[in-house]
Structure 1
Amino acid sequence: MSIYRKVQAVEKVFKALEKELASFKNGTGLNCLSGCGLCCLNPNITATPLEFLPFAYELHKNGLAYQWLEDVQSSETSTCKILRPMLSEGETGFCSQYQYRGLICRLFGFAASRNKMSQLELATCKTIKAEFPEQYQTAKDLIKDGGKVPIMTDFYHQLRAIDTELGRQLMPINDAIEEALKVVLSYYAYRKPYRRRA
């Protein structure tokens, strides 16, 4: 499968997830605290290269892939390279590439994972629990009653089905971005460059 087809397949999974997330948020009233971004500051976030293939592809199309690869490789921070450390006026979030954020960035806070007893539990943060206690309880009740909730493993399995190798290996988020860039740059090294249609 070509890189372009893989990117399309990943974006299709993300689009389906966004619909499920919107439904879950609407049904529970659960949301992030505006301007928070604490989860983005976690230096131990892991991801797969496949999650960032659309981002790497977009950078390649715009002639920025090599620059980003160099920046990621020379970065001394373990926090996500896409993270914007300061908000400017009018900005609502810390992700500088929100459209191309990874799967965990989309799932965390509003999806369920299975505990040791194989029961679904909401995977969310202390801030959401503290700031939105009623909505958090509504979400817990919905999950307990068998209501519709995005399940983390389901979406990771969907990605893995697109490309087993790129979709199975979890690594630090910046390493995942770097690997995605290398895959795209390697793929197009001996192919015609992408040309935008007029």
Structure 2
Amino acid sequence: MLIEIYRYMQVIWSGRNCQKNQLIKIWRLAGVYFKLDNHIKRFRRKTNINCLKGCGKCCERVYVETAPLEMIPLAAIILKRAKSGLWIRKLMNVSVEGRCMFYRKLKDVPGKGRCLIYPLRPLTCRLFGFAAKKNKNGQKQWVTCSLLKMLAGSNQVEITVEINKGLSIPVAGSYRWLVHDIGSSAESRLLPLPFALYEAMAILSR
């Protein structure tokens, strides 16, 4: 993943619209993503639970909420390539319900597809299926999708028990705060993904 981040950072760094303070924020954001991705890899290895190859069901039903800060890397690339006008028109006409605009599903194969911005996907997408939230008693509850629940089968309860015995799993709220602390309140507020991208482009155009 660091190679992917470095490759995109080279494009972002060469853009005129991204100031030094924004570049520092992007690098800190990449650090959070790197930490999270490795955390998820360890959880997957311990539980032997993985997404089905090519599955895109989570991208077909609802837009995630994300922060403008998380869309700044993509916005910087769009501005660098002088595509802002095209994307503003797209964002003005996109619905915030239904399939994600960055998801391309395979023809005639329900639930299968790919993310066009996978290396730059936001925090919520990275967490989905492999994170926990804490209940009112402070216990961690594994939050996952119906397909992963099916794959886990009878092991689902055992995994939850092991999590509360010490099996390490990303806690969604903890990682959200790590991202929140990087940017300003305006950059960190949660919006539907298309709105967050629009705001990120506006931030870099000021």
Taking structure 2 as the reference length, the TM-score comes to 0.79
| CA positional deviation for 1:117 | 2.5
In 1, distance between residues paired with 2:198 and 2:96?
14
- The within-5 A match list for 1:14-53 is 14-53=33-72
| CA positional deviation for 1:94 | 2.2
* Distance change in 2, residues 1:132/1:33 (3 Å): farther
| CA positional deviation for 1:159 | 0.8
* Distance change in 2, residues 1:88/1:19 (3 Å): farther
- The within-5 A match list for 1:5-154 is 5-76=24-95, 78=97, 79-86=99-106, 93-133=113-153, 136-137=156-157, 139-154=159-174
In 2, distance between residues paired with 1:173 and 1:2?
23
Say if 2:133 and 2:143, in contact at 8 Å, map to a contact too. yes
Of 124-133 and 51-60, more deviation after overlay is shown by 51-60
Say if 1:29 and 1:135, in contact at 8 Å, map to a contact too. no
| CA positional deviation for 1:145 | 0.9
In 2, distance between residues paired with 1:98 and 1:22?
16
Identity %: 27
In 2, distance between residues paired with 1:88 and 1:95?
17
Q: Structure 2: which 5+ residue stretches go unaligned?
A: 1-19
Say if 1:47 and 1:171, in contact at 8 Å, map to a contact too. yes
Aligned residues: 184
In 2, distance between residues paired with 1:181 and 1:135?
44
In 2, distance between residues paired with 1:16 and 1:87?
35
Tell me the SS of whatever aligns to 1:162. Answer: coil
The runs of at least 4 aligned residues of structure 1 exceeding 6 Å deviation read: none
In 2, distance between residues paired with 1:114 and 1:88?
39
- 1:91-130 alpha-carbon deviations (Å, 9 max, x no partner): x842111001110000010011112322111110111101
Q: Structure 1: which 5+ residue stretches go unaligned?
A: 187-198
Taking structure 1 as the reference length, the TM-score comes to 0.81
